[in-house]
Structure 1
Amino acid sequence: MALIAEVATPIADASFVPPAITGTEPDVATEILYRALLEICRRHEPDLEAVLKGEADIARLTPERIGRALQLQAIWFRLLSIVEENTAMRRRRHVERGQGRAEVGGTFSRVFAEAAADGVKAPAIQELLRTLRIRPTITAHPTEAKRVTVLEKLRKIYLLLRELELPRYTERERTALMSDLSDQIELIFLTGELQLEKATVVREVSWALHFFDEALFEMLPELLYSLESSLAEYYPDENFEVPPFFQFGSWVGGDRDGNPFVTADVTRTTLKRNARASMRRFRTRINDLGKLLSITERVLPTPPGFRRELKALLDASGDGTAIAERNPGEHFRQFLTCILRKLDATIERNKEEPVELPGPYYSDADQLIQDLKTLEQGLIQGGCRSLAVNQVRPVRRMVELFRFSTVHLDLRENSGRTTKALREIWASVEGREPDEAPELETIEWRAWLTSELTKPRTKPRDLPKLSDEARETLATFALVGEMRAELDREAVGSFILSMTRSVDDILGVYLLAKEARIYLDAPGVEICQLPIIPLFETIEDLRAAPAIMKELLSIPLIRRSVRWQGGLQEVMVGYSDSNKDGGYFASNWELYKAQAKLTEVGNQAGVPIAFFHGRGGSVSRGGAPTARAIEALPPGSINRQYRVTDQGEVVSFKYSNRGTAAYQMELTAASVIQHALNSTRSVSPARSEFEDAMEALSGASRAVYTQLIGHDGFVEYFQNASPLDELTLLNIGSRPARRTGARTLSDLRAIPWVFAWAQNRHIITGWYGIGSGLKNFIEVRGEPGEQLLKRMFENFKPFRLILDEVEKTLRMVDLSIAREYSLLAPNAETRDQIFKLIEDEYALTCEMCLRVSGGGEIAFRYPAFRERLAERLPVINQVSREQVELLRSYRAETDEFKREEAKSALLLSINCISVGFGATG
């Protein structure tokens, strides 16, 4: 079995002390980590050393030893990823040192250098910044396969590897660093890779907050500083006001769509934990400021205005004399002591079991922000501008960015659940039974919704017909007003309605919000304070979205509410279910069309529409390089706001380490700004021709894809020829794999759909149907059609992005391994038919992609990707083959002990493959 030896050749000298890691190549770092892992293996599992060196076949081991071998491979994949992350950071630094910041792709400097060269004026940039809102939104699905305890140790390894880059250490010091690094790898080796029990929502909340504690609290304020520095370089005579335009959202603890474990109480607990996380970080930073600002009035006279503000705080504290006597003459320290006391009281008030402390507290983050502004201005007025800007302003910005909430927590529910609650409300109001309610989308149902929406609510109504489920739904809405008043006005972000199918679905949510009294009510001018975001997921829903939103935006209540909320109507588009519904090409094209049409709908209605992109980590779920994904969006579709989901393993990839987190955030923000600036330029006149071609390609590819998934026995084949059912045993998420438990394709969530196809190496979710689409287009249109496709490849970004990502996916497919999985399906006739379709389409897709791109081999344009994948494939391929045998054993085994052994090894194989590819779902 060719394992780690394919990547790094061991050297026998175990006393090796590494030199400083220099240059931009990862070879030394790879060798350092390989040697450490090899030595640990020799100490704890000497019989696996041959496996580690690629000199043994794990298939000959017992299930228990197979499991340990697979864990070893997964650890190595993780260590390789650390090397690659560190190398990418060093390469960016190398370019910046040698050529300047503007030569580093995805930076503010590059964007503003180009903007200045193109004649973009400062007022245009200031107006864009004034209204810009960027919000990556962390979700727990697919939940990160790595445990938090493993994440912490991997971060420590990353930091130690960075230390080893520095040439300042002596040999003795470098040996000590190596010992520490080896200890961290050993701890991972001795820590279980698998979740020992089903993840809870509370644990998922801890997982999400981990990234803020480790990186985001400190690095997000740096993003604003980086933006200011770039503007100062390319617009040196201008003064820009940079607002807190980049903030984080979250679904963790608020997403109840198909997750029975997310209750109103769980959401309340989540909101309070989020609030305490940010408050505690503010407290640490403010306490540090108090230690730092030891300025005495004997040297620096205190500005009169600041002295008055200090007196007001001291008087309000109830302990002003003691505070003043503790630091006599040190007015800035006294001011910070008052802030700390108020913040401590605020933290105590927001615990699970609140404690009332004497003295004042902060009722919201705005009050703390104002106190920090007062401190900042006091220093400036006293002649200490540098201290104000470099020490106080970053803390003030941190509070502006994270407030008393850390994130904007969204609530999500599906239309089936909200409609059920509405029918029960109808029954209570009308004195009848829920099953007597008017049918959805009828005149009678709309009339009832409209009538109820015009009636002000001053107190809760008696609704006797409500079930516990409906009361839970209403309790969730009631939390919005309660938590906004108790914690922070931005603690709750929006309500996302999954499976939106009609205007009535959306109006129903407005009515639920009204029942919960989160309205500004006055007769005839009711305004909903909670933004309601429809989510369009399937191809059918995406096509219906423009008509739905056109009608919705004509309703006065909606227009008033949107205007009050900031003037933008947000719409969420789903990449996963549309892919499952129509295949990769059709999904991408339908998403593009829907956004373009919805943008026009918003323009015509005078209510701009902004988009929330429900992307996952894998290509099949919308995953793509950040800058290119944003660049390929329809012109004008970023209306001052860009939101996107960061899911599961994507979160740890982007935000585990501070340097990477800073770059990823800047990459996102710079790409959004670039797109917004470019959208003002003219569109290519060939665009309509390209769109006609995309429509034809989409239709042909979808027809072939639909034929496959509609094949008799397809669902049975999928379940047998992949570890679909076994994925649920991984315990990597709190949410069930199916919405209702029905064993149908439509009920299956998109995440296990993609995850299982990646495990069995078919990966049809990222390419199937595209070869036939391209072939059909060329056959119908001949040579002119082929030339058109080649022009599109060069000039139409959405088409180019699709083909590039398809080629990367094709590189990961292995049909020889896929055939082994197919043999797990018992119906020989069905499996042969289905596999033949996949085999033929794969060959055709490879052929047609190369024909259009002009390449000599698949993914030839991405040598770094091919090299990275080539390092991993020998291991992944062998693990895949072993997984087939483990599936066969696990499914057939009747002895409970042996079955449990096989299960453990099987789950480790799933984990190992997902780590190797870098994605779960």
Structure 2
Amino acid sequence: MSSANNLSQRESVFNQEVITRFELYNSLFLTLPFYQVKDTGNLLPFFSAHCEKGTASQESPSDIIKSFFKKYVPDIDHQEQLNRLFRFIQYIERQVVLFDAIEDSSFSKTTKAEESGTLQTLLQQIAGDESQRETIKEKLKNFSLRLVLTAHPTQFYPSRVLGIMTDLIEALKTNDINTINLLLQQLGKTPFFNKTSPTPVDEAVSLIWFLENVFYHALAATQSKLNDAFDVDGLANQLLEMGFWPGGDRDGNPNVKTDSTRTVASLLRQIIFRCYYRDFRVVKRRITFRGVEDAMHTLETILYDNAFNPKENPENLQNEMLALLQTVKDKLINDNYGLFVDIIDDLTHKIKLFGCYFATLDIRQDSRVLRDVYHYISDKVGVKLPKGYDDLEEIEKLKAIEFTTEADFQCPEDADPLIRDTLDTIRLIKQIQQQNGAKACQRFIISNCQQASDILQLINLFLWSGWKKDELPIDFMPLFETVNDLKVAAEVMETLYKHPFYKTHLAAMGNKQTIMLGFSDSTKDGGYLMANWSIYKAKVELTAMAKKYDIDLAFFDGRGGPPARGGGKTHRFYASMGQEIANNHIQLTIQGQTVSSQYGSVDTARFNIEQLFNAGIASALHQTQKDLLDDRHKELISIMADESYGLFMALRKHPLFTEYLEKLSPLTLLSGVNISSRPTKRNSDAPLKLEDLRAISFVTAWSQLKQNIPGFYGVGAALNKVKGEGHWDEVVELYHKSGFFKTMIDNCMMSMSKSDFRITAHLKNDPKFGEFWQMLYNEFEQTKRLLLELTNTSVLMEAYSIEGRSIAIREKIILPLVIIQHYALECLNNTTNEELISTYNKLVIRTVYGIVNAGRNLA
């Protein structure tokens, strides 16, 4: 089947299964009498159409809102108008849920003709070729995939809504009208937001919902498929792993404390035992034979007690549970013809996958905090730092850091809370490992890592807090994120690889080093092209350094939801890694709308997990086809990255840059959105400064403006430069030959497809912001024009028409939300009435939910 016919088939299925069904069920949904105002559902289609017409005419949001009420509801006052807008918001955010559910329920049908790249296509490709099968089996001996769920607040569905969505998806699969009708009514009555900000534990509970209801089943199914295909059950390494940040990530989050970490570790243990117990009930109904009663009873007691009556100081019971299951299995094989061995194997595989911990709880803290702790504790354990230690050159610091002192320092109650939390958490890690297993809490990530001493000082904090040099099963992981930190990353790691103590520690950990590379701050720091190119170069340099010292290197990528935060079609990035970049281990963060869009159901999770898995192992079959940039390609990208960086930095330094975001986007109100326990910026009491602003708030503000600057700004200028210098044909060749460059460009177009400058076009005549808006718009238009020329297409995402259609429908659904938000922001800038200010603030905050949730396919 040709690719054109394949695409046509997918479009036909998408139209039938998604668009037509959404129109049908949306009509039903709009007739349901959810709210106080009876005609809200009837008015909403007229309001949506009015917003579309006004936006096309580039009217201001204020004019659009006022003309709508004048035409359709002329006899109500301003307060009632605001009430109507709130009702519209409540309908629209539920329309987004309905569309999500319909897309997910149709997933197996709309992806049936999907592009190659799944595990299934790989298995079909090697069918009957034993040499290729052996090649992959060899690759799997040193391969792993780890997905790490993070608490970054970029998706706002509470667990009660996720539960409805799950049931709605199942009902939609069979078009069960009665159940769908009831679930839509339930959805209409269910609140979408929290009245108070969640705690770190609340955030953990929300994400554990996905572990329990999605990843538990999806990872097990993928593992089973791998076992059947490659007999990987006996491998020493674990192929599939889950990581978890809520309750452990304290970088800049003042609300994450030692108690949070302790509670989350206990929750993860309890929930995984509940999963096991549910499975055991199925096992118990089938394994009814003589000779297994004692093992079955003991196992049931273990599972039930840990699931529902957890002890204060539990033990790691993974090996005991596996031994009991093996006893049952042996009895089935020897005395019962192997009957029901498959369900014993299924539970065994799950216990091997998730142990007593479900997901590894990562700890993360900023290097500046850790340096303060190091100063505090050093003299208290008898280690005297040289005078002026902070100002010493790195080489002198390294000489001063010794590893001869082991202590069991107990931090006093009156110590600085941040210092006490760090030291108490280091002690808690040992307790978690003893109770839930070594993998339960094994990784300590140092944010803002700038030098080797940041890592070595942290190791000493462990040795001074009750840990022993020869019993230190901890992965100390630097996080390099800013453009400048990425430049020196390889140099920092070489210093560590040569350091005698660190070299010994690494050997004890199997000579495996994990390095985290973050995208969010590097994009905010240097723009889209420079961020991607800086990380690519850093990976090449770090890989070469690891090979030099015979280190098994794993990159942990902090790839957030939208392309501006390193997201997009992430599996294509991994499939395009050349021989210069270590790619045996794939580790990435899954956050915000990425969780619901790519891993919101078992079907979508399995598909995306297997795509990532395939991206990592398929290269073993095609060594000669691996993406490899030659020197000229690197030179071209470097020229473009430098040009883009210059333009982006000039934008950041523009005197109106911060004020534009503060006045025209909901940036300053994001802290009022009760979806996160952490502030929108570091140094929360200080005036707003770009360097303090969290990358997620930065990206969210631009996406709410429908301008998505972090995802494209500077790309057009870069392409224009190389074109003007006569290198256009080379760039076109680069796009077609380099998977890395192509993926970067395609993701940029995805980001741009979520932009709509018509909404803010009225600003071009604004006396203060007019020129600034025009500058942004000109770069958008230049980038769009050159990207279409580069890709030989006529519209953005033409090559990914299904994804493009999905985005277009979502944008149409939420356009009224965007108009309402901008209208409320304009009203805020023009009133001093305290009561109205409060109402407008609430109106803005409520629109943020639906706009971000609808952006799930940014991921």
TM-score (norm. length: structure 1): 0.84
Paired AA for residue 446 in structure 1: L
Name the counterpart of 1:199. Answer: 198
Matched, 1:332 2:292: yes
SS at match of 2:816: helix
Name the counterpart of 2:437. Answer: 488
SS at match of 2:17: coil
With 151-160 and 648-657 compared, the bigger mean Cα shift is at 648-657
Q: Is the 8 A contact 2:583 2:616 kept in 1?
A: no
Quick one: which of 240, 246, 250 aligns to 2:244?
Answer: 250
Paired AA for residue 635 in structure 1: Q
* CA shift for structure 1 position 286: 2.1
Quick one: which of 440, 448, 457 aligns to 1:508?
Answer: 457
Matched, 1:285 2:279: yes
Output aligned runs, 1:83-482, within 5 Å.
83-93=102-112, 95=113, 105-115=116-126, 120-164=131-175, 177-231=176-230, 244-295=238-289, 330-346=290-306, 350-351=310-311, 353=312, 363-388=316-341, 390-429=342-381, 437-439=389-391, 441-449=393-401, 451=402, 453-457=403-407, 459-460=408-409, 467-482=416-431
Output aligned runs, 1:677-756, within 5 Å.
677-678=621-622, 680-681=623-624, 687-741=630-684, 742=686, 743-756=688-701
**Partners of 1:624 and 1:728 in 2: how far apart?**
26
With 535-544 and 377-386 compared, the bigger mean Cα shift is at 377-386
**Partners of 1:751 and 1:147 in 2: how far apart?**
19
Quick one: which of 839, 844, 861 aligns to 2:799?
Answer: 861
With 406-415 and 373-382 compared, the bigger mean Cα shift is at 373-382
Matched, 1:905 2:828: no
Q: Is the 8 A contact 2:569 2:743 kept in 1?
A: no
The 3 A distance-change label for structure 1 pair 614 and 206 is same
Name the counterpart of 2:85. Answer: 66
**Partners of 1:405 and 1:462 in 2: how far apart?**
27
**Partners of 1:116 and 1:286 in 2: how far apart?**
35
Name the counterpart of 1:34. Answer: 26
Output aligned runs, 1:600-749, within 5 Å.
600-635=544-579, 637-675=581-619, 677-678=621-622, 680-681=623-624, 687-741=630-684, 742=686, 743-749=688-694
**Partners of 2:731 and 2:396 in 1: how far apart?**
50
Kindly indicate whether structure 1 or structure 2 has the higher relative contact order, using CA contacts under 8 Å at least 6 residues apart.
Answer: 2
SS at match of 1:54: helix
* CA shift for structure 1 position 55: 5.5
**Partners of 1:669 and 1:267 in 2: how far apart?**
30
**Partners of 1:66 and 1:434 in 2: how far apart?**
64
**Partners of 1:461 and 1:653 in 2: how far apart?**
45
The 3 A distance-change label for structure 1 pair 195 and 440 is farther
CA distances 1:106-125 after superposition (whole Å, capped 9, x unpaired): 32232244356888544432
* CA shift for structure 1 position 384: 3.0
Quick one: which of 689, 702, 712 aligns to 1:757?
Answer: 702
Question: RMSD of the TM alignment (CA)?
Answer: 2.9
**Partners of 1:54 and 1:607 in 2: how far apart?**
63
Q: Is the 8 A contact 1:142 1:920 kept in 2?
A: no
SS at match of 1:497: strand
CA distances 1:811-870 after superposition (whole Å, capped 9, x unpaired): 22222323446888xxx44x2332232122122112211222222233222221332233
Q: Is the 8 A contact 1:804 1:859 kept in 2?
A: yes
SS at match of 1:160: helix
CA distances 1:771-819 after superposition (whole Å, capped 9, x unpaired): 1111111222x1xx11101101111111111221222222222223234
* CA shift for structure 1 position 478: 0.7
**Partners of 1:891 and 1:192 in 2: how far apart?**
29
Name the counterpart of 2:46. Answer: 54
Q: Is the 8 A contact 1:627 1:671 kept in 2?
A: yes
With 771-780 and 461-470 compared, the bigger mean Cα shift is at 461-470
The 3 A distance-change label for structure 1 pair 413 and 201 is same
Q: Is the 8 A contact 1:723 1:759 kept in 2?
A: yes
**Partners of 1:736 and 1:48 in 2: how far apart?**
35
The 3 A distance-change label for structure 1 pair 239 and 488 is closer
SS at match of 1:495: strand
**Partners of 1:68 and 1:420 in 2: how far apart?**
50
Name the counterpart of 1:560. Answer: 504
Name the counterpart of 2:516. Answer: 572
The 3 A distance-change label for structure 1 pair 493 and 228 is same
The 3 A distance-change label for structure 1 pair 919 and 665 is closer
**Partners of 1:430 and 1:838 in 2: how far apart?**
57
TM-score (norm. length: structure 2): 0.89
Q: Is the 8 A contact 1:596 1:634 kept in 2?
A: no
The 3 A distance-change label for structure 1 pair 774 and 23 is closer
Paired AA for residue 264 in structure 1: T
The 3 A distance-change label for structure 1 pair 692 and 116 is farther
CA distances 1:257-280 after superposition (whole Å, capped 9, x unpaired): 011111111101110111111112
* CA shift for structure 1 position 406: 0.9
**Partners of 2:322 and 2:627 in 1: how far apart?**
46
Paired AA for residue 335 in structure 1: A
The 3 A distance-change label for structure 1 pair 440 and 617 is farther
Larger radius of gyration: 1
Q: Percent identity?
A: 23
The 3 A distance-change label for structure 1 pair 54 and 916 is farther
* CA shift for structure 1 position 162: 1.5
**Partners of 2:47 and 2:410 in 1: how far apart?**
73
**Partners of 2:395 and 2:235 in 1: how far apart?**
50
SS at match of 1:612: strand
Q: Is the 8 A contact 1:708 1:834 kept in 2?
A: no
**Partners of 1:717 and 1:202 in 2: how far apart?**
35
**Partners of 2:283 and 2:86 in 1: how far apart?**
50
**Partners of 2:104 and 2:39 in 1: how far apart?**
31
**Partners of 1:771 and 1:757 in 2: how far apart?**
18
**Partners of 1:540 and 1:493 in 2: how far apart?**
28
**Partners of 1:661 and 1:243 in 2: how far apart?**
22
**Partners of 2:430 and 2:243 in 1: how far apart?**
18
**Partners of 1:684 and 1:910 in 2: how far apart?**
39
CA distances 1:409-467 after superposition (whole Å, capped 9, x unpaired): 00000001000111112343569899964425445533332x2x23344x437889953
Quick one: which of 74, 81, 97 aligns to 1:78?
Answer: 97
- How many pairs were matched up? 818
Paired AA for residue 510 in structure 2: G
Q: Is the 8 A contact 2:406 2:464 kept in 1?
A: no
**Partners of 1:774 and 1:480 in 2: how far apart?**
49
Q: Is the 8 A contact 2:200 2:247 kept in 1?
A: yes
Q: Is the 8 A contact 2:277 2:307 kept in 1?
A: no
Q: Is the 8 A contact 2:122 2:614 kept in 1?
A: yes
Paired AA for residue 552 in structure 2: P
Paired AA for residue 851 in structure 2: I
Gaps in structure 1 of 5+ consecutive residues: 1-20, 96-102, 165-176, 233-237, 296-329, 355-360, 522-526
**Partners of 1:462 and 1:896 in 2: how far apart?**
47
The 3 A distance-change label for structure 1 pair 438 and 88 is closer
